[in-house]
């Protein structure tokens, strides 16, 4: 131990239940300040002197600022750490707001302890608080308080830190929120253990029943009621199903008003402030590890990073599991506890207990801040039994980020960990093959059924296709048969998968899928809501008919265009298509951002924007007639067409960076190939617009025509194409597509194509040569 050795010298907790006498309607800042004052008092030294010594205040991020979609209904501070600091008389040189996740409190304690040992920090406060219960209770009322605070001063805001925790595939399949994601993990564990539904439910109840008894004795608990194992797992009016296998009592409780804080200093500062040595608690062991993204885990029922973090923290501390006097394992859902116990050989009924607070469903899931309460309890127990050791396991995401701390009053110097080295080993393990679009027979790997408050049910399945590739899917609306399967013992059960623009769907059989979600036979309808079509012999003209929205596309409009182009490519009598936009202002402004901002469901057909940007095998020519703006997705659609005719008013741009998006519908790939990397990079990174003339010079456009004549120009180009053999046109496009990725020119020229063999035997090849010899116009047969 040296003067730079870090020690925890004070901890504090606060709560403000809405149904308690003397409810104070405290904000998150108010709760954090109350906890911080308690922590300063807990040092046994002069609180004002300790506050004045703080050079760093680190805040745990509140739920209301944890995601881009989060909302603070009563307002919030623009600088939570400094708001708290000001209330306790501190003026730190550095303020930190950590990333989202329940690992944050322990991670911050470890980080700041290391900084104290390294000499860059002398005294720090870690603080977190949530006033979720108050926000829900008072929002919209006539006397609702305003918690808005605008605070000047430095803030190191580390952002959301949500990388890998939410993917487009998860959003598309309704896998949002923690209950359904943890339910998938829970059921994967059940499947691996071979437990039937009833047995497993009993085990979950028996695991958490002791937690309720701890919560019942905790003055800060949000739900201080002791319950039996049977009460916890039996659905009822107050214990409604949430996501199979979880009823409400087994789910982390986020409606809390709670705050916690901890003060860390160096030994030298603790002595200078007069903190009694019996208040000092040392961080003996620690580890910070991260798990793979959920669907990349070889076994969905376990997170190896969590077990590895506990084992390594024990190694750093130089003790064994049996040396621990107390444990607090993060307990947002049963599997968060049981999967750690599985890996370490801890019995669910370990006499030491697995929680000091009562756990997140019963003490309260105080946002990202729960484990700061666990640290406060652990420090108090360590002081009460000098020389004992206590462990805190802090979890973020879906077993995604795990931080561990081991505490004791036994003096020790700072001990570095090898988390980076261990993380490299975890990352080296192979991942299962995955598939985005699942079609055909499959089996259930894990599952859940999400229950709405109105009684509606949605099944979510992680499956394996016939090739063993993992995929994510949902049940079809109204498919009670598959929901009943998932409500039983579905592990390994045979199902049938089919992919759509909105994602994958599963049913029990193919015939059931055909009944509930029949494939649409390609063909043109008489009318559409967002599109106009006109057939003129072998030419199909398609008009995006949303001029008031600059022909921007919503998901239903994209679906209609996808349907139209399915019909075009399937109809042997349609040889060329023209796509244009209604009115004179725009070809298409791309994605309709008003729809996106409204919060309505978003999806794109499997074939991409307009049914074109992701379509493979486009062996019939599509011409874009660009009148006005082709912006963002509209430019991507034009680039997906084989040919572009633009009137002289046209403007082309990939403008996604201007609205916080990227040109992910092919623009980032196609533009550099069309105009070269230099110009493409400038356009992509700045949103630069090209005029029609500039686009022509750059190779983005084939022809420029006078204003207002783009469609006429496209028709003229189509007529030239229709003058040739449609079979030759198709074959040419196919061979161009087949050889596109072959770098060597000679290899590309010698590429064997069955399309060329078929052309040589076609009626059109014979007709073309015959007509030439007879000096007449050929009569193409398209075969």
78 SS3 class: coil
* DSSP structure class, residue 139: T
C-alpha separations of 78 from 65, 156, 251 in Å: 10, 12, 30
Catalytic residue selected from 481, 636, 648, 720:
636
242 SS3 class: strand
User: What are residue 759's phi and psi, to 5 degrees?
Assistant: -65, -40
In sequence order, which ranges of 345-415 are alpha helices (DSSP H)?
370-384
Torsion of CA 479, 484, 485, 487, to 10 degrees: 130
For this structure, is 767 an active site residue?
A: no
Q: How far apart are CA 205 and CA 186, in angstroms?
A: 13
466 SS3 class: coil
Give the number of C-alpha atoms closer than 13 A to the C-alpha of residue 269, restricted to the C-beta side: 25
- Residue that has been written with the tokens 């519908």 in this structure: 665
User: What are residue 710's phi and psi, to 5 degrees?
Assistant: -60, -45
Structure tokens at 235: 């659905």
Beta bridge partners of 406: 285, 391
- DSSP secondary structure letters along 273-337: HT--GGG-BEEEEEEEEEPPPGGG-SSTT--HHHHHHHHHHHHHHT--GGGEEEEEE--SSHHHH
Catalytic residue selected from 130, 656, 694, 767:
656
Centroid of chain to Cα 287: 25
Per-residue b or e along 103-130, where b marks 16 or more CB atoms closer than 10 Å to that residue's CB: bbbbbbbbbbbbbbbeeebbbbbbbbbb
Q: How far apart are CA 596 and CA 217, in angstroms?
A: 47
Cβ pair 207, 232 in contact under 8 A: no
CA angle 397, 77, 148 (to 5 degrees): 125
Cβ pair 134, 74 in contact under 8 A: yes
For this structure, is 421 an active site residue?
A: no
C-alpha separations of 618 from 102, 276, 378, 529, 709 in Å: 49, 78, 64, 25, 26
Torsion of CA 85, 91, 97, 101, to 10 degrees: -40
Number of DSSP helices (H) and strands (E) in the chain, helices first:
27, 27
Structure tokens at 248: 């409400």
Cβ pair 28, 36 in contact under 8 A: no
Going by C-beta distance under 8 Å and a sequence separation of 6 or more, which residues neighbour residue 441? 465, 466, 494, 495, 496, 497, 510
CA neighbor of 659 nearest in space, from 636, 680, 632: 632
- Which residues does the annotation mark as catalytic? 636, 656
């Amino acid at each position: 131990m040296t003067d730079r050795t870090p020690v925890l010298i004070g901890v504090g907790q606060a709560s403000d239940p809405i149904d308690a006498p003397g409810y104070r309607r405290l904000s998150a800042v108010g709760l954090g300040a109350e906890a911080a004052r308690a922590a300063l008092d807990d040092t046994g030294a002069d609180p004002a002197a300790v506050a004045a010594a703080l050079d760093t205040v680190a805040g745990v991020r509140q739920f209301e600022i944890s995601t881009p979609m989060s909302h603070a209904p009563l307002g919030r501070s623009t600088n939570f750490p400094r708001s708290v600091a000001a209330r306790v008389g501190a003026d730190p040189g550095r303020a930190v707001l950590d990333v989202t996740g329940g690992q944050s409190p322990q991670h911050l304690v470890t980080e700041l302890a290391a900084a104290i040992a390294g000499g860059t920090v002398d005294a720090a406060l870690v603080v977190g608080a949530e006033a979720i219960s108050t926000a829900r209770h008072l929002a919209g009322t006539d006397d609702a308080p305003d918690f808005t605070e605008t605070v000047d001063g430095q803030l190191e805001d580390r952002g959301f830190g949500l990388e890998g925790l939410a993917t487009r595939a998860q959003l598309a399949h309704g896998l949002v929120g923690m209950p359904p994601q943890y339910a998938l993990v829970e059921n994967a564990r059940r499947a691996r253990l071979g437990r039937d539904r009833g047995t497993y439910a009993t085990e979950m109840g028996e695991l958490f029943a002791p937690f309720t008894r701890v919560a019942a004795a905790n003055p800060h608990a949000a739900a201080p009621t002791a319950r039996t194992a049977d009460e916890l797992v039996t659905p009822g009016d107050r214990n409604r199903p949430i996501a199979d296998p979880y009823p409400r009592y087994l789910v982390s409780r986020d409606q809390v008003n709670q705050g916690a804080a901890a003060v860390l200093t160096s030994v030298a500062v603790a002595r200078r402030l007069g903190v009694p040595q019996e208040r000092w608690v040392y961080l003996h062991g620690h580890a910070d590890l991260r798990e793979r993204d959920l669907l990349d885990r070889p076994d969905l029922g376990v997170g190896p990073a969590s077990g590895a973090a506990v084992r390594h923290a024990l190694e750093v501390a130089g003790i064994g599991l049996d040396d621990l006097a107390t444990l607090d394992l993060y307990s947002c859902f049963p599997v968060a506890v049981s999967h750690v116990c599985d890996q370490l050989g801890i019995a669910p009924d370990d006499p030491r207990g697995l929680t000091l607070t009562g756990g997140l469903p019963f003490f309260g899931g105080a946002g990202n801040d729960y484990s700061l309460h666990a640290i406060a309890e652990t420090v108090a127990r360590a002081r009460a039994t000098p020389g004992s050791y206590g462990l805190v396991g802090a979890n973020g995401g879906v077993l995604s980020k795990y931080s561990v701390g081991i505490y004791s009053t036994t003096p020790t110097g700072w001990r570095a960990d090898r988390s980076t080295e261990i993380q490299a080993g975890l990352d080296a393990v192979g991942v299962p093959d995955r598939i985005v679009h699942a079609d055909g027979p499959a089996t259930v790997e894990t599952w859940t059924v999400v229950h709405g408050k109105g009684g509606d049910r949605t099944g979510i399945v992680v499956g394996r296709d016939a090739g063993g590739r993992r995929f994510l899917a949902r049940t079809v609306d109204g498919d009670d048969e598959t929901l009943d399967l998932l409500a039983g013992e579905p592990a390994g059960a045979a199902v049938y998968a089919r992919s759509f623009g909105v994602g994958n769907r599963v049913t029990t059989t193919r015939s059931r899928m055909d009944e509930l979600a029949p494939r649409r036979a390609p063909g043109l309808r008489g009318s559409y809501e967002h599109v106009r079509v006109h057939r003129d012999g072998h030419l199909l003209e398609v008009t995006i008919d949303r001029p008031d929205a600059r022909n921007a596309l919503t998901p239903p409009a994209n679906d209609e265009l996808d349907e139209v182009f399915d019909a075009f490519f399937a109809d042997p009598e349609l040889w060329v298509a023209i796509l244009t936009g209604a009115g004179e202002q725009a070809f298409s402004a791309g994605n309709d951002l008003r729809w996106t901002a409204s919060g309505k469901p978003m999806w794109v057909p499997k074939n991409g924007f307009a049914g074109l940007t992701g379509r493979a095998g486009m062996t019939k020519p599509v011409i874009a007639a660009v009148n006005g703006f082709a912006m963002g997705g509209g430019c991507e659609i034009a680039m997906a067409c084989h040919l572009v005719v633009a009137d002289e008013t046209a403007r082309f741009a990939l403008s996604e960076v201007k609205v916080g998006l990227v040109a992910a519908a092919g623009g980032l790939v196609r533009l550099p190939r069309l105009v070269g990397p230099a110009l493409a990079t400038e356009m992509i990174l700045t949103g630069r617009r090209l005029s029609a003339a500039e686009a022509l010079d750059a190779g983005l456009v084939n022809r420029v025509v006078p204003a207002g004549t783009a469609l006429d120009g496209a028709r003229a180009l189509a007529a030239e194409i229709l003058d040739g053999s449609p079979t030759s046109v198709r074959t040419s496009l196919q061979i161009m597509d087949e050889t596109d990725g072959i770098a060597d020119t000679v290899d590309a020229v010698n590429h064997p194509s069955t399309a060329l063999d078929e052309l040589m035997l076609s009626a059109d090849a014979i007709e073309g040569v015959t007509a030439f010899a007879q000096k007449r116009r050929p009569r193409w047969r398209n075969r």
